[in-house]
Amino acid sequence: MDASKSPFLQALKGKTLARKDKTTIEGAKLLESKEFIVVYIGASFLSGVGKRNVENLKNFYEARKGEGVEVIYLSQDNNNKDFEKHIQEAQPNWLAVPPNTKENDELMKALENPSKPHVIAFNKIGIMCRRTTGTKDLDSKGILEKWRNKKENSPKKSNQVPSQESKDSEEKP
């Protein structure tokens, strides 16, 4: 995965990520081995859309993990106890970054501190191909092909209106 186009992917290269089963992977090795990185910013205390996002992401991950997809959970929990309980009870064996750590702070900053919940996806060429608060569209047929074909980031505009794709993928709490 080309990290040069994304401050987040560049920051990820220097991190060690862990799964709930305690296995770890270096960020640089992860970027070499995956075609898509999906980042979920959430917390155990989120209800409504937060819980639906976790369920939708679980289904998405289980259906597509053999297709070069990896999910990274950036926890915004208030403490490690809540974080640990959440990943043990509610999540599959995703990679995760605990809250209140230097690593979490650096990765959140590289993503420009998005609100929670938030789902951001990057494709193999390092392009952000999805950034929204919802997960409704993840079961869409051809979603990976759409992400695979995205060749450039959308330009940033201060008064940018969300695209129809973004509106369609948002869910109500």
Amino acid in the structure at residue 115: S
| pLDDT at residue 128 in the model | 92
Helix (H, G, I), strand (E, B) or coil at 26: strand
Reported pTM = 0.84
| pLDDT at residue 154 in the model | 57
Annotated domain spans of the chain: 7-146+158-167
Cβ burial of 128 (10 Å; 0-12, 13-18, 19+) is: buried
| pLDDT at residue 146 in the model | 87
Pick the CATH number of 7-146+158-167 from 3.40.30.10, 3.40.50.2300, 3.40.50.11720, 2.40.420.20: 3.40.30.10
User: Which stretches of the chain drop beneath a pLDDT of 50?
Assistant: 156-173
Give residue-wise pLDDT tens across range 40-53.
Answer: 999 999 988 888 99
| pLDDT at residue 162 in the model | 38
